[in-house]
Chain A
């Protein structure tokens, strides 16, 4: 669980301090305010802390970790120094602190090729691996990204590691695809069912490395009884034990991913990551999702927000970056602060008028967001509407 993030002289951020909610965090800002850079930096640092990079004692660690860190940003330069703020007088410093006080900190100067790791940086905790979902849908790209005949260098030039890493997670088999065929984690049963119901089926990996959409739904079925008598206090647990949730194909033909709507594929990505354990609330690291609204029918947004809240209630830390009023408003309307202890923190990135530097303010109060670009946009629309409707009218 990440508690704090500090950046100095990193791309557009001269100084940035974020204190994250353990539940849901929303990064808001217009284009060019560095939302994606922020998500990617958290992802890169999280990967380093999560043991996805080589062993730190290894001689080539710094070079290898730096290369991987850069690959997330798809820079055309092979020096980490390219991520320093332009004209910065002091080195770039990135620091990420976890709830157990472990931290990872890297520094580099504008001309550095590799990252320098600060002393005392935490040893990798493999369980904390973060998951990054980029703006574009990835399911339809997996086959192309992973195809053995495709030149790696070319693939990597086209897709940054946000895409490549996600492709690797997506090909892991889901628990509902294994021989038992049922959802293994009862906590996720509702969420998985909801996701499949939203799009009317699931995406399955084909032998050739692509995905097919398989129409169907989940059904709960009773398991054969083994223990006939139980005390009442065991009823809830027993209910879980006595039922299993299995995917039931509707019988209609499955078809290639590309034939389904892009918004549906985004839902499919989330479903696969949950059903194959790549996202495992309380076990795996932070979920970073860049613009969930991209290509998503706004009607689906309510359900997506419900899913995010449900995951967060199960211990999943989430950071989404968004431009979308609909996402923000549903979060505000659907969160249950008292009953379910939901917590949403909004982090607003803005360019300061005085010096053009990025600043951030964080608030747990939706009502404080009236000054954001998203809200202003609707204000302008409303005023234009009033002007048109009441032209020439005085009381």
Chain B
């Protein structure tokens, strides 16, 4: 089973052929490519996974994250990471499968209505679709909170390491 860790969160991808830690400074050397945290490769699709965890215990600066969210900078950054990662993968020739962009945003205070609104903003910002394109640049793009991730992919798929067990 493939498990990866992003600070205090552990994610499992039991069916993946490979999970690449894409946001790796050594791998990208001094390029300014903005990158998503992980790419999970499956037989029929690629998942681009970006993780934001403002609910992490003892968060350094929670107010700064809220500011980033409200100012629209978070959405811009999420969009940029997707675009650059797509570009990198195309250059690699790994653009042969459907791409799903999944952002895990673990922030309890963000309710469903606001998540929906941010998600719509993100789709427009990327953009997922353009009138002059034959196809959408991604199959879909979605922002999941902690609970929705577990509901969608199973309780075992995600755990907070500081809470032990699992």
Contact = CB atoms under 8 A, between A and B. Distances in A.
A379 B14 CA distance: 28
Contacts of B111: 329, 370, 375, 378
B141 interface: yes
B159 to A, nearest CB: 13
Contacts of A388: 140
B34 interface: no
Contacts of A375: 111-112
Range, interface on chain A: 10 to 19
Given A378-B116, A390-B100, A395 B157 contact: yes
Interface in A283-300: none
Given A390-B142, A393-B100, A395-B12, A385 B119 contact: yes
A355 B140 CA distance: 45
Contacts of A382: 112-113, 115-116, 148
A378 B112 contact: yes
Given A390-B100, A393-B100, A395-B157, A381 B116 contact: yes
Contact of A379 (B13, B112, B152): B112
B120 to A, nearest CB: 9
Contacts of A390: 100, 102, 140, 142, 152
A389 B116 contact: no
Contacts of A370: 111
- The winner among B11, B100, B113, B114 for most chain A CB atoms within 10 A is B113
Contact of A385 (B14, B100, B142): B142
B33 interface: no
A386 B148 contact: yes
Q: Binding site of B, secondary structure by majority: helix, strand, loop or mixed?
A: mixed
A117 interface: no
Contacts of B40: 395
B47 interface: yes
B127 interface: no
A383 B47 CA distance: 19
A328 to B, nearest CB: 10
A385 B16 contact: no
A394 interface: yes
A58 B99 CA distance: 80
Given A379-B112, A381-B112, A386 B15 contact: no
Contacts of B65: none
B153 interface: yes
A302 to B, nearest CB: 13
B22 interface: no
Contacts of B119: 385
Given A390-B100, A393-B100, A395-B12, A378 B142 contact: no
Contact of A386 (B11, B14, B113, B142): B142
Interface of A: 325, 329, 370, 375, 378-379, 381-383, 385-386, 388-390, 393-395
Interface of B: 11-16, 40, 45, 47, 100, 102, 111-116, 119, 140-142, 144, 148, 152-154, 157
Given A378-B113, A395-B11, 16 more contacts: A329-B111, A375-B112, A378-B112, A381-B112, A381-B113, A382-B112, A382-B116, A382-B148, A385-B116, A386-B142, A386-B148, A390-B102, A395-B12, A395-B14, A395-B153, A395-B154
